[in-house]
Chains A and B, each alone.
Chain A
Amino acid sequence: MAAPPAPAVKTRPRPTTKPPATSALRRSQRRAAALFVVPFFVLFAAVMVAPIGYAVWMSLFQEHSSGLGFGGTQRVFSGIGNYTKALSDAGFRDSFVHIALYCALYIPVMIGGSLLLALLLDSAMARAKRFFQLALFLPHAIPGLIASLIWIYLYTPGLSPVLDWIGALGGSWDFYSNDHVLSSMVNLCAWQWIGYNMVIFYAALQAVPREVIEAAVVDGAGALRTALRIKVPLIASALVMTVLFTCVGAIQIFTEPKLLNQRGAPSVDTEWSPTLFIWKAGFVQHDYGLAAAASLLLALLGVVLSYLVTRLGNRWKAAS
């Protein structure tokens, strides 16, 4: 065991004997790299690449039942037929309007709220930072479905202390009514994610060099000015990344509208969001071609959004 290194040292001046040693080493490294990487990529191909490919394939076919009603159905190549079918479906188009409205409310609330909390926690005036950080992050430890169930019950008359408080103040509120259901849904998601995003921003703020902030204070900038003009631009990367993940998550919303629909909120139907539409098309109507086309259109929206957010984010980072 101890012998091989010694000749290797001796042979160093003679380059002719060196290549075999390094190539043996390189071969063993290549074998190790393959051993480490291959299992992951086999699974990656099986559960990510293959389903995407299969979805593309499925989206090109439509099922036609034979004219007489027996003999089962026939799979017919239809090109972009499923895509035009999805795009001309009023329910599918409405689902995009719904999530657009939802995002218009959710994203400012989420990003603004978590950024505000992170800046408050980062300010010199905040006390009990560890406690607040933990308390605000806590909802993220609760599984999304259970978090939604808790809030659904807090929206339910008779169970809800929140409705009791509103009643005691002389007000009244219906969380499920057409006017309020969107804000109820935003609240469901904001509660789960606001602390998570706050921790990301707070960690980024902590990484801002203290001298930069001290310089701003010496120049006479107040706490508010320092926060908005100095700190926020310095955590631009974290902000852009969080907006990106928030957008990609928001367009896939499923659990929350599903539960609100189950509770009988009148304006949340069974195809309220694109994912609910896909679920219904695939698992209730068994129209796999339509569901696959709708899935890919949603994925396309995700790609476009990611591109736009990154692009705008880079421009903003360059400007500030």
Chain B
Amino acid sequence: MSILTRPSSPPRTPTAPRGTRVAARTRARTDALLSKAVVNGLLIVAAFYTLMPVTWLVIAATKNDRDLFGTSGFSFGDFSLLANLHHVFSFNDGIYLRWFGNSILYSVVGSAASTLLCVATGYAFDKYDFKGKEKLFGAVLGGVLVPTTVIQLPMYLLATEAGVVNTYWALLLPALVNPFGVYLARVFSEGYVPNEVLEAARVDGAGELRTFAGIALPMLAPGFMTIFLFSFTSSWNNFFGALVMLNDEKLYPVNLGLFMWNSVTQQQPEYYSLVITGSLVAVVPLIAAFVCLQRFWRSGLTAGAVK
């Protein structure tokens, strides 16, 4: 536009450029409006893609077996959410609640312990000098790239010999080791815990353990939370490990339990509503936690990406 008008108005009469300038400005404004519509339109399409399945899950959990197949996916049938919930929690002597408790044990307790280990190790890598330090850290980084599915079978065989297969320890022990968490903890320790503070504590005569627990750990709290979330999602997602290590359905986490229920849906369609409602019950607290803890996972992803 401006290229076309410029040569035609060399005398610079006061009226002509103003007219073209206004035209150019309105054209620019419609262009801006158009690209704004395209940008936001694409984002809305993407948000529809990510939110649609979850919305479907919520609606499907409110339907009884008949409406689940008889009505369209996004229309409501008879409201049976409470009946479905009751069915999930009472089915097979309340096994679902037990799975849920197991998931919390594996994910919350396991991740808390794992995170404490990571933070202590990462802190030591940052603040202390010891023999073979960088070689050991290299081993940790190598551990990040080891595919977990690859070590699952030998781990199962070793666990069989150690007698921990089909116990809580079979999932808890491997979950304690999180090499990526150690890497993150070292990065966080460099950023959050100034060396001068530690020097000051030493001058005051505080022991190394006291300094870590009383001074460094509170400073590392946001990093702790971030690493916790990482290891929490990985243990909550750990389906392969549970499938390999556990036989006793009393020890199952929720996802393995739902997998077992799902495997009979094609023969017995009444299991569909169990799987759907059970999935919803498992997902709601996770979504709530992620919305509340946004700031932590965001900072973790940033720390991982920029370094």
Chain A residues engaging chain B, CB cutoff 8 angstroms: 1, 4-5, 25, 28-37, 39-41, 43-44, 46-48, 50-52, 54-55, 58, 116-117, 120-121, 123, 125-127, 131-132, 134-147, 149-154, 158-162, 164, 191, 194-196, 199-201, 203-204, 207, 223, 237-238, 241-242, 248, 251-252, 254-255, 259, 262-264, 275, 278, 282-283, 288, 291-292, 295-296, 298-299, 302-303, 306
Contact = CB atoms under 8 A, between A and B. Distances in A.
Contact of B208 (A31, A142, A144, A254): A31
B47 A146 contact: no
A262 B263 contact: yes
A44 B146 CA distance: 12
B117 A39 contact: yes
B150 interface: yes
B51 to A, nearest CB: 6
Contact of B240 (A32, A248, A255): A255
B239 A288 contact: no
A150 B50 CA distance: 12
B177 A43 contact: yes
A149 B239 CA distance: 13
B19 interface: no
A183 to B, nearest CB: 14
A194 B43 CA distance: 13
A200 B307 CA distance: 12
B176 interface: yes
Interface string B149-167: 1110111111000000000
B120 A150 contact: no
Interface residues of B, number: 95
Nearest to A262: B263
A132 B207 CA distance: 47
A47 B276 contact: no
Interface string B268-295: 0000100110010011001101110010
A282 B150 CA distance: 11
B107 to A, nearest CB: 10
A52 to B, nearest CB: 6
Given A143-B255, A158-B69, A303-B145, A291 B150 contact: no
B239 A117 contact: no
Nearest to A161: B73
Given A1-B205, A200-B301, A34 B130 contact: yes
Interface string B201-243: 0110101110010000000000000000000010011011000
Nearest to B35: A125
B208 A154 contact: no
B194 interface: no
Contact of B40 (A125, A196, A275): A125
B173 interface: yes
A41 B207 CA distance: 23
23 contacts: A29-B128, A35-B209, A36-B120, A40-B121, A40-B177, A50-B158, A51-B155, A51-B158, A58-B154, A125-B35, A127-B36, A137-B297, A143-B236, A143-B282, A143-B286, A145-B256, A146-B282, A149-B258, A154-B73, A207-B306, A241-B305, A283-B153, A288-B157
Contact of A164 (B32, B72, B117, B143): B72
Contacts of A46: 173
A142 B54 contact: yes
Contacts of A50: 154, 158
B124 interface: yes
A231 B131 CA distance: 42
B123 interface: yes
Contact of B140 (A34, A44, A252): A44
A195 to B, nearest CB: 6
A203 B290 contact: no
A275 B149 contact: yes
A37 B136 contact: yes
Contacts of B50: 135-136, 138-139, 191, 194-195
B302 interface: yes
A48 B177 contact: yes
Contacts of A132: 43, 46-47
Given A32-B212, A150-B56, A199-B298, A125 B258 contact: no
Contact of A141 (B121, B258, B287): B287
The 7 closest A-B CB pairs, nearest first, are: A161-B73, A32-B208, A36-B124, A33-B128, A51-B154, A141-B290, A203-B302
B157 A58 contact: yes
A292 B282 contact: no
Contacts of A29: 128-129, 208
Contact of A282 (B153, B256, B282): B153
Interface in B166-212: 173-174, 176-177, 179, 182, 202-203, 205, 207-209, 212
Contact of A52 (B154, B266, B279): B154
B255 A146 contact: yes
Contact of A55 (B51, B123, B154, B208): B154
A164 B71 CA distance: 10
A146 B208 contact: no
B57 A150 contact: yes
Nearest to A35: B209
B279 A48 contact: no
A194 B45 CA distance: 14
